[in-house]
A and B are shown apart, each in its own frame.
Chain A
């Protein structure tokens, strides 16, 4: 099922047919084979032999692919690095492949966020099942989002805001975000999501790292000290000097940090395009990648195309179709606001958020059919994140935007709420109305700002995520038989479709072939000549 331009319309019944796969491998032979195999699975395949080209493709059309399969060893970019970028910018599931199946490599893949690691040669049945990674990601993040309402991110934020100067805004905001995402990311599929409390770092199987404000501040200090472009998890870890923290913790936190920064950058850029007067605190200009949340949701009643199975007609997974009505979401938001109230009494803060919440929902009320994620985003965006397209013609939102008096508070709420939405990104949400699909429908921030590209490349050049491949000595015997058999003279290279006679080794062959022709030593003289003898 190879629909070139349009998305497959029979997704609902044909799933996983039409899965849009991007394959990256520098070996053209493998690329050809994988393409063939994936097409046999009825997937829609795009191939790339360069990682940089793959990234370009991904950035050009954020929602063009559902999953990425990449080789580990590539000339222009390490596969792990590509993995990181894709995870950071597009949050697509990435499968790594290699002929090298050594444990340390596989572990590295997992640590960098690969959702699977396949060993070459790859079998068809392995490829048939890759859709599970796409689905899992959607479901997983969908579930976690629902459980976030008990989370006191606004309270924490308030704590941090007090007594901190401007430059620590990043710290506070990011810590919030990371608290959310660490709650999110450390769940496995079978967990009960409901009662996880923020701050619970009890000894579960996966020891959870709680990135408190202090810890995050240490982190940021370390990052700034090293220099944002030279930063690496090991260096940060060393500088932070927190004994129980692992490199892996730092690495994942760093990833989120970058994501967060680039999102802020995006927000600022979008703000420039709007007439809103809200300022953002100054941030580190070197923002990797791009991740601003697309705010089509503000006005978008029906379109929720998250990157991932985006089908205008019907989404892949009908996760939250019309479950959440506006009023229900209203409740959710207000409950959260109330929770905030209880924990950290801060009338000012709450008021602002309340105002925003209340305001936000009124325009929504007039629109039908709002999906879950649809609803939540406007909460954050109406007064901070101003999408180029929509808010410019929405006086209501703009007035809301100007309503918020304190820029930093607003932006921090925005960011925290925005961050709240992060788990929601790349969900497979249903697009109810095809006609209202915008050109940038993703909730997730796929729009890559061209001005950020130089930063990204510079960044990746300076980033040392891993060392050389570790080679393990393989104890394989070499069974090498050089049987002296008859001269192998009979192949006539009359195959026009394949110009095999061009190769350096070209025995003359006649018509009839003896059976024991597997081995011959006739033409090794040719071979010897080309050998380097030390």
Chain B
């Protein structure tokens, strides 16, 4: 696959992610921040987000596994995750967090568990898609091309 094709693929994939709500405008803001002084800025930020996600999802799992469940603690994790997801523009993840927080407030354990599941799913999807995106970018750069940003 040549550079042009790769670039087209990248553009399409980015557009699809935006359309489907995996990413929002914040992601394009991150891309705009990337420059010569920080050429891997977006990837670095996303990696930090992945780290955070792992940690927070584990925390939530643990917190929901306790008896009795400390919903305030769970909510604290979810709130943190909400902020974290907002940083990269992970819109769907953020939305699930919002619902999750509602269940925490009403201390609805079943609802919380469902939300945690959804979070895990959304996070997986997002991660896959982003990794694919970065892979495309890498291939483009290796072939000497430039990375098209999200419009």
**A residues apposed to B, CB below 8 Å:** 26-30, 32-33, 36-37, 40, 71, 73, 98-100, 120-121, 123-124, 468-469, 471, 473-474, 476, 478-482, 488, 491-495, 497-498, 500, 503-505, 507, 513, 515, 517-520, 523-524, 527, 530-534
25 sample A-B contacts, Cβ–Cβ < 8 Å, listed by A number: A27-B87, A28-B52, A29-B87, A36-B41, A73-B76, A73-B83, A120-B87, A121-B29, A471-B102, A473-B102, A478-B99, A480-B92, A480-B122, A482-B121, A488-B128, A498-B47, A503-B54, A515-B13, A515-B16, A518-B16, A518-B20, A518-B22, A530-B57, A534-B110, A534-B113
Chain B residues within an 8 Å CB radius of A471:
75, 101-102, 104-105
Chain A residues within an 8 Å CB radius of B92:
479-480
Nearest Cβ on chain B to A453's Cβ, whole angstroms: 28
Chain B residues within an 8 Å CB radius of A481:
20
Given contacts A100-B79, A531-B120, contact A29 B49 (CB under 8 A): yes
Residues 100-119 (chain B) with a chain A CB within 8 angstroms: 101-102, 104-105, 109-110, 113, 116-118
Nearest Cβ on chain B to A515's Cβ, whole angstroms: 7
Extra pairs beyond A100-B79, A515-B12 (17, CB < 8 Å): A28-B48, A28-B52, A29-B45, A100-B82, A121-B26, A124-B32, A476-B95, A478-B95, A480-B96, A495-B131, A498-B134, A500-B47, A518-B125, A518-B129, A524-B121, A527-B124, A532-B61
Chain A residues within an 8 Å CB radius of B109:
534
Q: Which of B43, B75, B87 is the one whose CB lies under 8 Å from A33?
A: B87
Chain B residues within an 8 Å CB radius of A488:
128
Instruction: State A482–B121 Cα separation when bound (angstroms).
Output: 9
B129, closest chain A residue (CB): A518
Does B40 count as interface, using CB distance less than 8 angstroms?
yes
B6-47 vs A, Cβ < 8 Å mask (1 yes, 0 no) = 000100110011001110011001101100001011011101
By the criterion CB–CB under 8 Å, are B83 and A30 in contact? yes
By the criterion CB–CB under 8 Å, are A493 and B131 in contact? yes
Instruction: State A491–B9 Cα separation when bound (angstroms).
Output: 14
Given contacts A527-B120, A532-B61, contact A505 B105 (CB under 8 A): no
Nearest Cβ on chain A to B143's Cβ, whole angstroms: 14
Given contacts A517-B132, A527-B120, A531-B116, contact A121 B87 (CB under 8 A): yes
Chain A residues within an 8 Å CB radius of B76:
73
Residues 60-111 (chain B) with a chain A CB within 8 angstroms: 61, 64-65, 72, 75-76, 79-80, 82-84, 86-89, 92, 94-96, 98-99, 101-102, 104-105, 109-110
By the criterion CB–CB under 8 Å, are A520 and B120 in contact? no
By the criterion CB–CB under 8 Å, are A29 and B128 in contact? no
Chain B residues within an 8 Å CB radius of A492:
135
By the criterion CB–CB under 8 Å, are B102 and A29 in contact? no
Instruction: State A478–B26 Cα separation when bound (angstroms).
Output: 20
A-B pairs with beta carbons under 8 A, tally: 160
By the criterion CB–CB under 8 Å, are B54 and A504 in contact? yes
User: Residues of B within 8 Å of A, CB-based: how many?
Assistant: 73
A519, closest chain B residue (CB): B125
Nearest Cβ on chain A to B63's Cβ, whole angstroms: 9
Chain B residues within an 8 Å CB radius of A497:
40, 43
Chain B residues within an 8 Å CB radius of A513:
9, 132, 136
By the criterion CB–CB under 8 Å, are A505 and B132 in contact? no
By the criterion CB–CB under 8 Å, are B50 and A500 in contact? yes
A471, closest chain B residue (CB): B105
**B residues apposed to A, CB below 8 Å:** 9, 12-13, 16-17, 20-22, 25-26, 29-30, 32-33, 38, 40-41, 43-45, 47-50, 52, 54, 57, 61, 64-65, 72, 75-76, 79-80, 82-84, 86-89, 92, 94-96, 98-99, 101-102, 104-105, 109-110, 113, 116-118, 120-125, 127-129, 131-132, 134-136, 138
Instruction: State A318–B123 Cα separation when bound (angstroms).
Output: 52
Nearest Cβ on chain A to B12's Cβ, whole angstroms: 7
A517, closest chain B residue (CB): B132
**Candidate in B13, B22, B33, B43 with the most chain A CB atoms within 10 angstroms:** B33
Nearest Cβ on chain B to A94's Cβ, whole angstroms: 19
Top 9 nearest A-B pairs (CB, nearest first) are A99-B83, A121-B26, A29-B87, A29-B48, A474-B98, A471-B105, A532-B65, A527-B120, A36-B33
By the criterion CB–CB under 8 Å, are A532 and B89 in contact? no
Nearest Cβ on chain A to B15's Cβ, whole angstroms: 11
Instruction: State A26–B95 Cα separation when bound (angstroms).
Output: 21
Given contacts A29-B87, A532-B65, contact A498 B128 (CB under 8 A): no
By the criterion CB–CB under 8 Å, are B132 and A503 in contact? no
Instruction: State A40–B95 Cα separation when bound (angstroms).
Output: 29
Instruction: State A40–B32 Cα separation when bound (angstroms).
Output: 11
Instruction: State A479–B110 Cα separation when bound (angstroms).
Output: 19
Nearest Cβ on chain B to A530's Cβ, whole angstroms: 7
By the criterion CB–CB under 8 Å, are B45 and A532 in contact? no
**Candidate in A474, A493, A498, A504 with the most chain B CB atoms within 10 angstroms:** A498
A523, closest chain B residue (CB): B124
Nearest Cβ on chain A to B33's Cβ, whole angstroms: 5
**Candidate in B44, B54, B75, B131 with the most chain A CB atoms within 10 angstroms:** B131
Chain B residues within an 8 Å CB radius of A500:
47, 50, 127, 131
Chain B residues within an 8 Å CB radius of A121:
25-26, 29, 86-87, 89
Instruction: State A530–B120 Cα separation when bound (angstroms).
Output: 9
Chain A residues within an 8 Å CB radius of B127:
500, 503, 505
Chain B residues within an 8 Å CB radius of A482:
121
By the criterion CB–CB under 8 Å, are A29 and B84 in contact? yes
By the criterion CB–CB under 8 Å, are B128 and A27 in contact? no
Given contacts A473-B105, A480-B118, A503-B54, contact A491 B26 (CB under 8 A): no
Q: Which of A36, A98, A498 is the one whose CB lies under 8 Å from B38?
A: A36
Chain B residues within an 8 Å CB radius of A523:
124
Chain A residues within an 8 Å CB radius of B79:
73, 99-100, 469
